[in-house]
């Protein structure tokens, strides 16, 4: 009996951090990958990835790392993605499937169109809805994507074969894979991910600049810790996301500011009924959500 061939013979992960490293770990555990090549700017992180068994070898030059790869996963911050994609073009086989993990898809698609002059059929935009406030390969773990959603935003030009391969890859990590339009993805993520991160960063920054901030943080309760945990995420990554999804995020900020202003006015005018109704409405909505 011949051994079953892995889904991906050679995988190249550019950006071996929390997401890229966890993907490599998960695919190894599933027996879905043969050789894993890592690439990135931080050689110390890449050496750690080899030591931890996350990748088999690495090359700090992405153009060299992708040679011979069946699948290339670009897991770098959105601000660096265009440069990376441009650098690897000469080294890619026409059969190589390329995907990414960016949190905003419109900017990624625009970058790819600008580089190639069109959307290559083997490019499949993707976004795993998973993560922690930690970063780097040492924060990665194989079960990160289990019971989490991965959104793919295939385009009209995307080949069915490439789409199916990327879908299988993420399914083997234990994720639930769904398809979504690019614009819809960016609108949904602006509301459910990008705005909450912006609020957490802003709240911590506001309180940290108060004169008595030490005392404030000393008495912070669980609610504050839970809400602001995501403010420990990578600032550069979230800066890039805000820039990349600017229009959608601004819409959500304006809506939230309007609602917050109305709540502030209700408190100012002793409109207790409106304050209570807002809290009750929010509680009902939150209680009916499945967020685990």
Identify the weakest region by mean pLDDT among 20-24, 135-139, 259-263.
135-139
pLDDT at res. 227:
87
With a cut of 90, say whether residue 222 has pLDDT above it: no
Question: pLDDT tens across 270-290, in order?
Answer: 999 999 999 999 999 999 985
Residue ranges matching CATH 1.10.3660.10 in the chain: 185-287
pLDDT at res. 2:
47
Mean pLDDT over the full length of the chain: 94
b/e code 33-65 from CB counts within 10 Å (16+ = b): bbbbbbbbeeeebbebbbeeebbbebbeebbeb
Question: pLDDT tens across 25-61, in order?
Answer: 999 999 999 999 999 999 999 999 999 999 999 999 9
pLDDT at res. 245:
97
Q: Which CATH architecture has domain 8-180?
A: 3-Layer(aba) Sandwich (3.40)
Domain 185-287 listed as CATH 1.10.3660.10: yes
Q: Are 113 and 151 in contact (CB under 8 A)?
A: no
Task: Render the chain in DSSP notation, one character per residue.
Answer: -PPPPPSEEEEEEES-SHHHHHHHHHHHHTT-EEEEEEE-S-HHHHHHHHHTTS-SEE-SSHHHHTTT-SEEEE-S-HHHHHHHHHHHGGG--TT-EEEE--S-HHHHHHHHHHHHSS--TTEE-EEEE---S--SGGG--TTTTTT-EEEE---TTS-HHHHHHHHHHHHTTTPEEEE--HHHHHHHHIIIIIHHHHHHHHHHHHHHTSTTHHHHHHT--HHHHHHHGGGGS-HHHHHHHHHHTHHHHHHHHHHHHHHHHHHHHHHHTT-HHHHHHHHHHHHHHHHT----
Residue ranges matching CATH 3.40.50.720 in the chain: 8-180
pLDDT at res. 50:
97
pLDDT at res. 14:
98
Give percent of the chain above pLDDT 90.
85
Question: pLDDT tens across 98-149, in order?
Answer: 999 999 999 999 999 999 999 999 999 999 999 888 889 999 999 999 999 9
Question: pLDDT tens across 183-221, in order?
Answer: 999 999 999 999 999 999 999 999 888 877 667 787 777
Partners of 202 in beta bridges: none
pLDDT at res. 208:
87
Report d(CA 27, CA 24) in Å as an integer: 5
Q: Which residue in this structure is represented by tokens 């805000």? A: 242
Question: pLDDT tens across 243-253, in order?
Answer: 999 999 999 99
Q: What is the mean pLDDT of residues 142-171?
A: 97
């Amino acid at each position: 009996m011949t051994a079953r061939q892995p889904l991906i013979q050679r995988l190249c992960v550019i950006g071996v951090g929390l997401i890229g490293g966890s993907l490599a770990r998960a695919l190894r555990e599933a027996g879905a990958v043969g050789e894993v090549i890592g690439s990135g700017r931080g050689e110390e992180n890449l050496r750690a990835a080899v030591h931890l068994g996350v990748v088999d070898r690495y090359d700090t030059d992405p153009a060299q790392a992708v040679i011979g790869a069946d699948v290339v996963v670009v897991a770098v911050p959105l601000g660096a993605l265009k440069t990376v994609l441009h650098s690897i073009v000469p080294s890619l086989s026409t059969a190589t499937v390329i995907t990414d993990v960016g949190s905003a898809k419109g900017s990624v698609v625009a970058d790819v169109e600008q580089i190639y002059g069109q959307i290559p059929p083997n490019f499949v935009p993707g976004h795993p809805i998973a993560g922690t406030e930690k970063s780097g390969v040492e924060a990665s773990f194989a079960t990160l994507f289990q019971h989490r959603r991965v959104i793919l935003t295939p385009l009209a030009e995307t080949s069915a074969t490439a789409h199916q391969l990327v879908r299988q890859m993420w399914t083997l990590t234990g994720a639930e894979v769904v398809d979504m339009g690019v614009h819809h993805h960016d609108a949904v993520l602006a509301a459910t991910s990008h705005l909450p991160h912006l609020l957490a960063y802003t709240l911590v920054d506001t309180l940290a600049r108060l004169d008595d901030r030490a005392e404030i943080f000393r008495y912070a309760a669980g609610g504050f810790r839970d809400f602001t945990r995501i403010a420990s995420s990578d600032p550069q990554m979230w800066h890039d996301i805000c820039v990349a999804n600017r229009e959608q995020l601004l819409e959500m900020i304006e809506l939230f500011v309007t609602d917050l202003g109305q709540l502030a006015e209700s408190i100012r005018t002793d409109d207790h009924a409106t304050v209570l109704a807002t809290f009750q409405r929010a509680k009902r909505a939150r209680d009916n959500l499945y967020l685990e």
